Amino acid sequence: MQKNTDLGLLVLRISIGGLMLFHGVAKMIHGISFLTESMGAFGYTVYIGEVIAPLAILLGWRTRIASVFLAITCIVAMAIAHADTLFAISEHGGYANELLMLFLLGSISLFFTGAGKYALSTKNNWD
């Protein structure tokens, strides 16, 4: 069987970018006041990590730099919002923060691989 790494990278980009985008859109719908109350002006950076970066990843535009922003967003979310379950096991036996960890590790993978050839931009070092 022949490998198709670029198709695999497209599936990874759709998975990571598409699913994280739901989190960002939900925050846009409900408003950012709950974030700015706890984080001040840094609450607005959540939109970069949960809306702009996932869109760039989905499109394959500057995927590596967008992946850095997404990874930082995941790390901050784990440190601030999920610190109490950082080393916890869920009631179903899995890691309590497995969704955030999947987003983090997926974005780190995209940082190292880039977007692949099925992307909006493929000529820049940050693609």
pLDDT grade for 9, boundaries at 50, 70 and 90:
very high
| Residue ranges per structural domain of the chain | 5-113
Q: Give the residue-averaged pLDDT of 70-96.
A: 93
The rounded percent of the chain whose pLDDT value lies above 90 is 73
**Residue 109, pLDDT score:** 98
Q: What is the pLDDT of residues 16-58, one digit of tens each?
A: 999 999 999 998 888 878 777 877 777 788 889 999 999 999 9
- CA–CA–CA angle 125, 51, 16 (5° rounding): 65
Q: What is the reported pLDDT for 125?
A: 83
* Residue 85 DSSP code: G
State yes or no: pLDDT of 111 exceeds 80. yes
Q: Is a pLDDT exceeding 90 seen at residue 73?
A: yes
